[in-house]
Amino acid sequence: MSDEILIVDGVSKSFPAGGGWLRQRRVVQAVDNVSFSVVRGNSFGLVGESGCGKSTLARCLLRLIRPDRGRVMFEGTDIVQLGRRALRRARRRLQIVFQDPYASLSPRRTVFQTLAEPLVVHGIARGAALRPRVQAALAEVGLPAEVAERYPHEFSGGQRQRIGIARALMLEPALIVADEPVSALDVSVQAQILRLLEGLRNRRGLSFVFVSHDLAVVRHFCDQVAVMYLGRIVELGPTRKVLEQPLHPYTRMLRLASPVPDPAARFKLPRIEGEIPSALAPPSGCPFHPRCPDAMPVCAAVRPRTVEPEAGRRVECHLYG
């Protein structure tokens, strides 16, 4: 058994939606019985269309949203059950980078204030000891030391994302949850940020949970990938295998919908049929069956079990048992 830094076991989260007084309360099952694990030093990708619950899941991992059920074992302790103080300690090792670099930095705080704050509140450093640490963090994300006195609005999106990454690094975490960290950036900037994250992973031995809807980015960055559909993981396995020989029809569609550098593939471009169904009223049986090209009668009636067609791969589909 390899060294697993994060084990997610049966995590579920639902939100009340609409309804209210005297009206029937409805529930969105945003994350439905999700399990996976991340090996120390590896990157684990979570992919899926928007609304599939991947950002909710990402927040459950840090307990920014408390899961309804399940365990999130991080370095051997269950994050879900921790008391306030222990949670605070655990989060020093577990950080998050957000999608929108314009919303993730406090507009009235200088870069120095933003980066020094976690050190101060955790009693790691204060006074004159703060500046060298902040400068070291800025250097690590490729920003000059002078930017420390500037405000977020003076930076470009890529620079702000670098500041967000520096902030996540201040407490020297072991695992970073990156929630679509490059999807709000220009393609050229995306590559820079990905290279930065890669460098951090190699230098610091960081582990990542990498949420994305972009298969090209996941292919490049992740060792393992899980494909989510309506709150469930429908396929999971090593990135290369999952993306080159996808098992689940949904993964196949996702793959074909994302540009592949292969001229031969250009001639057969099936579209993903239809819209993603409402999470308020998920389809019966397999949630993907209304859009599935391989749907069988059983798919509408029975929810498929998780099967392991080969070691280290998982798929939820009737095609495989």
CA geometry: angle 312, 315, 321, nearest 5 deg: 110
Our finding on whether 108 is near another protein (CB under 8 A) is yes
Our finding on whether 170 is near another protein (CB under 8 A) is yes
Closest CA to 210 of 32, 58, 8: 58
Is the Cα torsion angle 146, 148, 154, 158 positive or negative in sign? positive
Our finding on whether 207 is near another protein (CB under 8 A) is no
Q: Indicate which single residue of 53, 118, 181, 249 sits in contact with another protein (rule: CB under 8 A).
A: 118
Please identify, among the stretches 99-107, 272-280, 283-291, 299-307, the one whose residues bind another protein according to the rule CB under 8 A. Answer: 99-107
Please identify, among the stretches 66-74, 115-123, 227-235, 280-288, the one whose residues bind another protein according to the rule CB under 8 A. Answer: 115-123
> CA–CA separation, 224 vs 234, rounded Å?
14
Q: Indicate which single residue of 17, 27, 86, 103 sits in contact with another protein (rule: CB under 8 A).
A: 103
Closest CA to 178 of 151, 196, 152, 153: 196
Our finding on whether 75 is near another protein (CB under 8 A) is no
For another protein, how many residues bind (rule: CB under 8 A)? Answer: 33
Q: Indicate which single residue of 88, 126, 195, 305 sits in contact with another protein (rule: CB under 8 A).
A: 88
Q: Indicate which single residue of 156, 202, 245, 284 sits in contact with another protein (rule: CB under 8 A).
A: 156
> CA–CA separation, 269 vs 152, rounded Å?
42
Contacts of residue 239, defined as CB under 8 A and 6 or more positions apart, other chains included, come to 45, 218, 219, 222, 223, 224, 225
CA-to-CA separations, 137 to 95, 118, 169, 245, in angstroms, rounded = 15, 13, 7, 40
Q: Indicate which single residue of 30, 60, 96, 178 sits in contact with another protein (rule: CB under 8 A).
A: 96
Closest CA to 192 of 183, 182, 202: 182
Which residues, 119 to 148, sit near another protein by CB under 8 A? 121-122
Q: Indicate which single residue of 171, 272, 295, 307 sits in contact with another protein (rule: CB under 8 A).
A: 171
Our finding on whether 250 is near another protein (CB under 8 A) is no
Please identify, among the stretches 72-80, 114-122, 249-257, 278-286, the one whose residues bind another protein according to the rule CB under 8 A. Answer: 114-122
Which residues, 52 to 71, sit near another protein by CB under 8 A? 59, 62, 64
- The terminus-to-terminus CA distance of the chain in angstroms comes to 27
The minimum distance between CB 95 and another protein, in angstroms, equals 6
Contacts of residue 277, defined as CB under 8 A and 6 or more positions apart, other chains included, come to 230, 283, 287, 290, 291
Our finding on whether 117 is near another protein (CB under 8 A) is yes
Question: Residues 315, 248: contact at Cβ < 8 Å?
Answer: yes
CA geometry: angle 205, 207, 211, nearest 5 deg: 145
Our finding on whether 109 is near another protein (CB under 8 A) is yes
Question: Residues 248, 314: contact at Cβ < 8 Å?
Answer: no
Please identify, among the stretches 43-51, 92-100, 253-261, 305-313, the one whose residues bind another protein according to the rule CB under 8 A. Answer: 92-100
Closest CA to 113 of 134, 95, 99: 134
Q: Which is nearer to another protein, 184 or 236 (CB)?
A: 184
Q: Which is nearer to another protein, 28 or 230 (CB)?
A: 28
Point out which residues bind another protein (CB under 8 A): 59, 62, 64, 88-89, 91-92, 94-96, 98-100, 102-109, 117-118, 121-122, 153-154, 156-157, 164, 167, 170-171
